[in-house]
Amino acid sequence: MFDPQSPAAARPVWSVAALLLAAGDALTARFGAVVVRGEISGFSRAASGHCYLSLKDADGAAAMLRCAMFRRAAALLDFAPADGMQVELRGRIGVYEPRGELQLVVEGMRRLGAGALYEEFLRLRARLQEQGVFDPARKRSIAAYPRRIAVVTSPQAAAWHDVMTAFQRRAPQVELVLVASPVQGAEAPPLLAAALQRAGALAGVDTVLLVRGGGSLEDLWAFNDERVVRAIVACPRPVVCGVGHESDVTLADLAADLRAPTPTAAAELAAPEQQQLLQHLQQLQAALQRAVRRQLDRQAQRLDSAALRLGPVAGAVAAQQERQRALEARLRHALAVQVQRQTMLLSQLGERLQRGARNALLLSSTRLEAQADRLFALDPRAVLGRGFAWIEDEAGRAVVSVQGVAPGERVRAVWADGAARARIEAIETGSEPAQTPGQGISAAPARRRGAT
């Protein structure tokens, strides 16, 4: 806990700005002018002419130094700095107070050579070039009027927003399908290659867009990976690559069927503008109408010429037309007579059919009533109505013989108006009863199915 009475409490209390200013002064006094060597990363030039970059060790060590080179010093450069270059910077070390970051204010820059990543880029490009990966003869034409386009990028990337905005503004008739994939980091190359494969396999896709916004050489390195380059070549659909800014060139750009300087430019190259298409259709419509009018005029002139040549035979044509009208009238009359005759015949046949159907129905009804009478005569309940009964055991099976029961068993007797349960106390066969001592019949004997 902070103790106001402790010796440390007697020390002066700094404000943030004062502390940063004191730290900057201390660094300047301690180091003065310094010369540092490293590799450029994330180089950018503002509209004001100031240049901003990061300097890192060329051996890949995890160290990064923010640098600012103001317009006066930048104007003295005799080369164009770019990501991946190895340079030697001379300047003053200090603290950038608005963000509290260590910063080198560059007063001079000298080029040393290409960085490790850039050298690897050159080696890989030369090897793929020898294998014909970048051969212009291999590249395919982009669909002139696409209906569906797959976009391979990150859904969080600004490039996806730029592409959607461009299509909504220029070509809203085109359907966009997002095939999501990371576009930066160590895990990006295999996922980008898999996304390109999925995009090429989508049904109805005419073109594949591979897009990403600008960044340093390290940020765009996934698009220099050989797996991504091979996936672009193997994609069954033409690929338009729009990665980074206009000055950024990746191996994916060289392998693509069409390279665009930015994601927005890729969207513009992938599909024509709807307004231009409508104007072109209007021009085609007007040209077609003019061609049809010319053809109609030409045919009308031919018809007039033919009519003049056919003047002498006009009388013969008129006679043939009159004969045709007479034959037509006779044909109509003959058809009317035939239709009337067939209508009468159809009416007679209908009456005969109705009479036959009524007779067949009456005969079937008589037969059905006879069968119903016979069925009623065979109904067991009709027999029970005459005073008979049937006997069932406890399982509901009919007892048709005294052999089917034994003394002590329970049975059920069914009459036409009800049923009763009884217990067998004795069995009688023939005319002599077989008595069981101490037992008797618990229900009066009655006729049953099977003779009981």
Q: How far apart are CA 296 and CA 206, in angstroms?
A: 40
**Digit-coded pLDDT (tens) for 369-420:** 888 888 877 777 777 777 788 888 888 888 888 888 888 889 888 887 888 8
The one-character DSSP state at 13 is P
The yes-or-no verdict on residue 79 having pLDDT over 90 is no
Q: How far apart are CA 279 and CA 230, in angstroms?
A: 39
The yes-or-no verdict on residue 248 having pLDDT over 80 is no
Q: Give pLDDT, residue 149.
A: 95
Average pLDDT over every residue of 44-68: 88
Q: Give pLDDT, residue 6.
A: 59
Of the ranges 126-140, 202-216, 375-389, which one carries the lowest mean pLDDT score? 375-389
Q: Between the CA of residue 402 and those of 385, 414, 451, what are the distances in Å?
A: 24, 17, 10
Tokens 């009800």 found at: 418
The overall average pLDDT reported for the chain is 84
Q: Give pLDDT, residue 146.
A: 92
Query: Residues 183, 184, 188, 194: what is their CA dihedral angle, to the nearest 10 degrees?
Result: 10
The answer to whether 405 and 428 have CB atoms below 8 angstroms apart is no
The answer to whether 405 and 427 have CB atoms below 8 angstroms apart is yes
434 pLDDT band, cuts 50/70/90, is very low
Average pLDDT over every residue of 11-19: 83
- In the chain, where the domains are located: 14-114, 145-274, 368-452
Q: Is 145-274 CATH 3.40.50.1860?
A: no
Which residue type does 361 have?
L
Architecture of the domain defined by 14-114:
Beta Barrel (2.40)
